[in-house]
A = this chain, B = another copy of it.
Amino acid sequence: MTAHSEFDSDTTVTAASAGVYDATLTDRWHTPMQSPNGGYSLAVALRALAHTVGAATPDPLVVSAFFLRRASPGPAQVHTELVRAGRRTATGEARLLREGQEIVRLVATFADLAHSRGRSVSLTHAPELPPPEACVPLGGGRRLPGATIADRVDMRAERAAGFALGQPSGDPTLTFWMRFADGRDADPMSLPMLVDAALPAVLELGERGSSTIELTVHVRAHPAPGWLLCRVVTRHITQGYHEEDVELWDTRGVLVAQARQLALLPETAD
C-alpha cells in the first residue's frame, strides 16, 4: 500500500452515531455515465460495515449489493446493522444514503481469510497473458469524457479490445491485467470495487454498457502484491438481462475473487 491511496481516502467513513457513518462520495470514480461507479459506492458502505462488524472478522467473504438509484458526488451516510456474529463469521447489512435516498443496500458475511483452513481444490487455472509491461491499455488509450475512474484503475491486455477500436469482437469475454493506478495493492476490502470497475464484456457485443441491478462478490484470498489478472465473461442475455462473471487472480495464480452481477442493457433500463 502506498503512503497515500486514492481509494483509501475516497472511501473514508467517520462514525457519527451508533451504526451511522458519514462519508463523502467523490467525483473521482465516475463511469462514462458521469456518476460514481457502483463498486465505489459499495466500497464506502462496506468500509462502514467492516467497522460495525469488528476486527475479529476483518475480511468480506461474500457481499451482495443491490443498486437502487444512481449515486452522485457529495456527502453520504451509511447505516449499518450487525445481523449475526458467529464463531468464525459475522454477517451485517449496510445502506448507503445520499440526500436521504437509499443508493445501495448490501448484506455481507465477514471472516478472517488469513486464518481460514480446509480443503483446497482448483479445477481451473488463471488465464495466461504476456506480462503487464508487454501489454497495452485495454481501452486502446481512449478516454471517455468524465469517466474519471479510468484515471484510478489501470487495465492492460495483450491488445486493445475490439470495441475500443470500433470493432466489437462478438465474443463477450475480456481478459486483462488490472490494478490501482496509484500503485495501491489490492486487498479483500478493495476487491469488490475492482470487480465492478472491470470493463463489461457486453461492450464486445456492440452494447454501450449496462446497469447493474445486483452484484455478488466472493472474496477467496488475500491477493499477493502487484497486478491482478481479470477475466470477464457474459454467457446469457435474455430480454435485456444478463449476467456478468468476473474472476480475479493474483500473480501467484491464486483465485482471489469471483463475482457475478445481474445487469440490464440500457435500452431496457428501469
Residues of A within 8 A of B (CB): 61-62, 64, 66, 68-69, 83-84, 86-89, 91, 93, 102, 105, 107, 109, 113, 116-124, 172, 205, 207, 213-214, 216, 218, 220-221, 234-243, 254-255, 258, 260, 262, 264-265, 267-268, 270
Q: Which of B214, B216, B236 contacts A255 (CB 8 A)?
A: B236
Could you list 15 further interchain pairs (A-B, Cβ under 8 angstroms) beyond the known A117-B239, A124-B236?
A64-B214, A66-B107, A93-B105, A107-B107, A109-B213, A116-B240, A117-B268, A118-B241, A118-B265, A118-B267, A120-B239, A121-B242, A122-B235, A123-B234, A238-B255
Residue in chain B with minimal CB distance to A220: B238
Q: A123 near B241 (CB under 8 angstroms)?
A: no
A107 and B243 CA atoms in complex are apart in Å by: 18
Q: B89 near A270 (CB under 8 angstroms)?
A: yes
**Chain B residue contacts of A123, Cβ below 8 A:** 172, 234-236
A211 and B103 CA atoms in complex are apart in Å by: 31
Residue in chain B with minimal CB distance to A88: B270
A122 and B216 CA atoms in complex are apart in Å by: 22
Q: B86 near A66 (CB under 8 angstroms)?
A: no
**Chain B residue contacts of A89, Cβ below 8 A:** 213, 270
A122 and B236 CA atoms in complex are apart in Å by: 5
A110 and B105 CA atoms in complex are apart in Å by: 15
Give the interface centre of A89, A107, A172 by most chain B CB atoms within 10 Å: A107
Residue in chain B with minimal CB distance to A172: B123
**Chain B residue contacts of A237, Cβ below 8 A:** 119-122
A254 and B239 CA atoms in complex are apart in Å by: 12
A130 and B233 CA atoms in complex are apart in Å by: 29
Q: A83-B68, A120-B238, A255-B238 are in contact. Are A105 and B102 (CB under 8 A)?
A: no
A109 and B267 CA atoms in complex are apart in Å by: 19
A sample of 6 inter-chain contacts (CB < 8 A) reads A68-B91, A83-B102, A88-B268, A123-B172, A220-B241, A243-B258
Q: A220 near B236 (CB under 8 angstroms)?
A: yes
Residue in chain B with minimal CB distance to A236: B255
A106 and B87 CA atoms in complex are apart in Å by: 22
Q: Which of B116, B235, B265 contacts A119 (CB 8 A)?
A: B265
Residue in chain B with minimal CB distance to A63: B214
**Chain B residue contacts of A267, Cβ below 8 A:** 118-119
